Structure 1
Amino acid sequence: MEQLTESAIRKSFINATRSEVSALNLPAGFAELDWDNLDYLGWRDPKMPQRGYLVTPLAGRPVGVLLRAPETSTPGNKRVLCALCQDVHSEEDVYLYVARRAGQPGRDGNTVGTLICADFFCSANVRLQVPATPIHPDPEVVTAGRIAGLRQRTALFLQRVLGK
């Protein structure tokens, strides 16, 4: 992912009000992010934990969405699969994040949701080393496919927020 400035991130949001964008807090360690190994920038707001943010390139420009996390996580839930990274080995919690639709549909209260790793570790999950198997003898090809799938599913979610 191309490195983004704070200003570019704030300008990218398609479903947030100006006051929501001005109130957002960037992720801890923002200056040290490894942009080359990110397929999207996602984080929970450290001061408002029920807010999440996801920014990814779409049609050549960064597009961001404001997400709402559930009120609480219920311990003992069955494991669910993140819809973005689809990592079956991850032990991370997965939340149903909900986003207001962009434009008038969002102002009318319409939302879309998807299951995402609670702390947005998808980019790391798809880059975990996989062992060579007879079916997939080249782990690099498998990893490249997982990265491409994550990017595609993230773009599809943002297109749903946009109403496309």
Structure 2
Amino acid sequence: MLPLDEDRIRTSFINCSKGEARRLSLPPGLAGLDWSEVDFLGWRDPKAGQNAYLVAPYGDDVVGIAMRAAAKHRSSLKSSLCAFCGTIHAATDVTLFAARRVGAAGKQGNTVGTYACADLACGLYLRGKRRPAVHNPVDRAPLEQRVERTLANIGRFLDEVATDNVS
């Protein structure tokens, strides 16, 4: 992913107002990011943990979406799969994220949801820099292929958020 500054991140959001985008908390450590290892930006608001944000390549551009995180699962006995990167986590480490659709559909309250790594740190899991609490089968695909698969999964989610399906 190409380096992004604060203005580019804030203007990338498609499912919230300009005022909401201007007020959202940016990811901690943005200034020190090693952009060569960033496939997409995903973060939770440290002041309001239910608020989450995703900024990812989308077509020839970069798109940002605001999401809400559901309450955590209480049981760590089960495991869950991140729909973006495919990492298997304890159920407590995967969260349902809901994003308001764009346009009239979003204004009517229509949302799209997906289960993803609760910390939105898929890139760290893909690179083995962070390990989930449960054992994961080894994905022997090259890193580039795993990243492409993750970005394709995120792209499908963004397609749904970007669809104003009001008839």
Structure-2 separation of matches of 1:155 and 1:74: 26
Matched with 2:75 is: 76
Q: Is the 8 A contact 1:10 1:22 kept in 2?
A: yes
Matched with 2:133 is: none
Structure-2 separation of matches of 1:109 and 1:24: 20
Question: 1:18-97 counterparts in 2 under 5 A?
Answer: 18-70=18-70, 72-77=71-76, 78-88=78-88, 90=89, 93-97=93-97
Q: Structure 2 counterpart of 1:73, which letter?
A: K
| Deviation of 1:35 (Å) | 1.3
Structure-2 separation of matches of 1:28 and 1:107: 30
Check if 1:118 corresponds to 2:118. yes
Is the partner of 1:147 in helix, strand or coil?
helix
1:91-144 C-alpha deviation (Å, 9 max, x unpaired): 570100000001111011110000111111101111229xxxxxx9xx5x5322
Query: What stretches of structure 1 of length at least 5 have no aligned partner?
Result: 130-135
| Deviation of 1:53 (Å) | 0.2
Q: Structure 1 residues 33-42 or 6-15, which shifts more? A: 33-42
Question: CA RMSD, aligned part only?
Answer: 2.1
Query: What stretches of structure 2 of length at least 5 have no aligned partner?
Result: 130-137
Q: Is the 8 A contact 2:11 2:18 kept in 1?
A: no
Q: Structure 1 counterpart of 2:21, which letter?
A: V
Check if 1:163 corresponds to 2:153. no
| Deviation of 1:59 (Å) | 1.4
Structure-2 separation of matches of 1:118 and 1:34: 21
Q: Is the 8 A contact 1:127 1:147 kept in 2?
A: no
Structure-1 separation of matches of 2:8 and 2:24: 13
Structure-2 separation of matches of 1:94 and 1:157: 16
Q: Percent identity?
A: 41
Is the partner of 2:20 in helix, strand or coil?
helix
| Deviation of 1:12 (Å) | 0.3
For this pair of structures, how many residues does the alignment match? 154
| Deviation of 1:37 (Å) | 1.0
4+ residue segments displaced more than 6 Å:
none
Is the partner of 1:80 in helix, strand or coil?
strand
Q: Is the 8 A contact 1:99 1:112 kept in 2?
A: yes
